[in-house]
Amino acid sequence: MIDLQTLAKAHFEEHLHTYFKMHVAEDVCVDLELIESEDHSNDHIDSFSLIFKAPLKHAFPQGTYKLEHLKVGTLHLFLVPIKKDADGLYYQAISTRLKKS
């Protein structure tokens, strides 16, 4: 499992437009496509966001979900719904931590 203390945007950059298996319930999984990775860092914090797209038929509430990817590994992310359009439902995860002095 990925250590969230060392999680970085670089872990995801090469996996844009690949799929993460999200565990919605014990016996229910949904494939999420990673469609965007954006840096929000400044002099004091390391921060980035990830945007995932889910099929329209798979709406789920904000919450912490287990995600699995063949190359990235397994991680738990807090996902928040941010948009819905004809192509799908969009969810965002944000990682922020103070930079070490």
| pLDDT computed for residue 39 by the predictor | 80
Q: With contact defined as beta carbons under 8 Å apart, do 17 and 36 qualify?
A: no
Write out pLDDT tens, residues 56-88.
998 999 999 999 999 888 989 999 999 999 999
Percent of the chain clearing pLDDT 90 (strictly above): 54
Q: Judge whether residue 40 has pLDDT over 90.
A: no
What pTM was computed for the model? 0.86
DSSP label at residue 25 = E
**Tokens linked to 80:** 């928040």
Residue ranges of domains in the chain, CATH in brackets = 10-98 (2.40.30)
Average pLDDT over residues 25-45: 87
Residue 27 or 88, more confident: 88
